[in-house]
Structure 1
Amino acid sequence: MSCLEIYSSLELLTATVYESRDFFGQPVRAFELGLKEYPPIVLIGDSYGCTRASEVIADTLLKYSGDTHVVAVPCIFPSISQGLPFFSRLLLGREASSVDELLSDLGEFKPVSEGQGARVLELGNLVLVATHSAQELERIKRIQVGEDRVIVALFHDGSTMLVEAPEEALLQPLRSLLIDQMALDPLLVVHLSCWSDELICFALSERWYASVSELLEIAVSQVNSDVLCGPSVPGYYSPRRGVILTSAVFSERLFPGAPIIEIRVGMKNYLEASKSLSAILSSVYLLRGF
């Protein structure tokens, strides 16, 4: 499901929509729902454009019948979900029928790197990686293309994936929406992200664990243990199955004073995370103290 399709479904729920633009000029939208007498829960989609996280947000809100104040930004980088049609229009001014056609018409650009199943083109601040395999991307990350570049992988099935981007390119649309336009002081931030594991994992900074532990317990309990990470996750301290503590999470630069829970959705059964997210929305009163 593309971000534009997700936007269409969420627009049916609310007339309050805010908008900024991502690095490539596509709309980044925030949807505000519920009663505004309390500070909101802010829901943020995957930083790198993975729509599994966006689908969890949409699935949760479309089924949710409560009145909790919610501000949802399901897509930070909506350009990525549009694949070959968008990037061919961006680079050629028209849609290419295949990746090979796109590369042929971009032939004037000398490859930064070529071979081993990948071709790397530097097009201004965009580095385009045409590849057959995600495994090749680890090698691509080591190519020195400049810190201010956005690296996008283009697979031969026409799908795209954000490989690397300056942090500011990810934060700027959110800052425009949530700080400049809406001046939010959220009660809680929930960041939905994708990772390569098949399981669902809840990650948060150690400093917030005690204050959200009761809410987190409810959220984790909604998901069957066989789709939860842990109890041991390499490189992390895990206080219980399904939960890991980390030194930093995305969005802390935007909301340093708000607790942030990151829900990492896996490759399988990722919509199971909707149960946890719905439970968080229904139980947020625990953070208000009544």
Structure 2
Amino acid sequence: MTTPSDRLLRRLEWRLGRRLDGRLQGAYRTVWHGTGIDFTDLRAYVPEDDVRHIDWNVTARLDEPYIRQYTEDRELTAWLVVDRSASMRFGRGQGKESVAAELAVALARLVSQGGNRVGAVLFDNDSHQVIPPRPGRDQILRITRALLAPAPKSSAITDLSEMFRMAAATTSRRRSLVFVMSDFIGEPGWDRSLAMLTHRHEVVVIRVVDPSELELPDVGVILVEDAETGEQLLVDTSDPLLRGRLADQVGAREDAVAEGMRKAGVAAHRVTTDQDMLTALIDMVRRSGRGRR
């Protein structure tokens, strides 16, 4: 009997095969690098390089910044850190939770090629699930089943700091590739714990957003509910004063998220629920490639 996880994985495999060309399918290692233990060479620093790899002794001697290069690991370990809190269930169409799940499965399928290991940390305030990294298609199905299982309902505001602390404690000490998928709606102050994760691993942040969170549609009087707390309120979406206040709040929230990412030392990829998932994935891989040398 074919399960929902089998159907989702088969659909994504078919779409990946048709939409991702050979250059993207086989070249993710040139985009998201592993870090081996063997030093191989030095080269001049360029602005896109990771400053943590600067050789300060050589830089001081030559009065010009130089980067240490290492042999890449033959096998890569990747982790999927997925926010499954109440706010992720919001959204038109598929909703943020479904978009995050499809992105996670597609990335797992892409990275697992060549025998690489993939694990997952699925986070909610009241329920956490860790799937240890393993290679193979059965592992992708295991992660897919976990992502499709209903998340428990919670009225607490998401503790993103705890999610990142849990991810840092769970992932191996060996440098890994970590994909974080969240809407970043939750308690503030998460930048420090995210910075701890980025210090140890290569982190790719994917922020999933619904368009109505960025601009309130003018649809008259509606009942709105806070996805995190369950609080309900009747509002007139055509009221210009209300729309102005909400626009100011959205602007402040976007500024706060951008500042948090800056402090953590990462650049977030934003994916909206009305985007084609594979188009967003291809664009994300290409933009990550342009950011690395």
The two structures share one fold, judged by TM-score above 0.5: no
TM-score band w.r.t. shorter chain: 0.3 to 0.5
Larger radius of gyration: 2
Calculate the TM-score normalised by the size of structure 2.
0.33
Bigger helix share: 2
Bigger proportion of residues as strand: 1
